[in-house]
Amino acid sequence: MEIQYSPPKVEVVITLGFDDDSEKALQIAWKVAQKILDEYGVWVEVLPVHVWIHDPVGFGIPDLPRIEVNGKVVAIGRVPDEEEFIDIILSRVFTREKPEQDIYALAAIQKNTPVFEEGAGILYI
C-alpha cells in the first residue's frame, strides 16, 4: 500500500513590471520557494503576472512589484529580502484570504416610477 503525502501549499502571486525590482522579486521568490520546500516541506507555488505584456505603457508603475501570499497583499513597490520573504510565507501557510470582489449596487424602484424609459434594463422588485 502506497502512502501519498500532500505537503502544505502556499500560493505567491507576483505582479511584475518591466523593471529591475520586479525581476529581483521573482528571482528571490523562486529561490525562497526551493529553500522552504527543502527545509520545511512546504510547497510554494510562485505565479508571476506580467503587467507589461498586457499594458506596454505601464513600464514604470511605482506600485510594482506587488506580492500576494495566499490572497493577502504583503508588499507593494518593494522587494522583501530572503529572510523577510521566508517569514512572510511561513506565517501564511495555513491561512487564505478571500479574494477581493467587486461590489455592485442594486437600485430598486417602484414599478410605475417614470425615472427611466421603458426597456432601459431596470430590475423591478
- Give tens-digit pLDDT for 14-64: 999 888 999 999 999 999 999 999 999 999 999 999 886 555 555 556 688
Cell of 29: 521568490
The residue segments making up the domain with residue 14 are 7-125
Q: How many domains does the chain have?
A: 1
pTM confidence score: 0.67
Mean of the pLDDT values across residues 66-93? Answer: 94
| Residue 5 pLDDT exceeds 70 | no
Would you say residue 1 lies in a domain?
A: no
How far apart are alpha carbons 33 and 88 in whole angstroms? 12
Q: What pLDDT score does 104 carry?
A: 42
- CATH number at 69 reads 3.40.30.10
How far apart are alpha carbons 88 and 81 in whole angstroms? 11
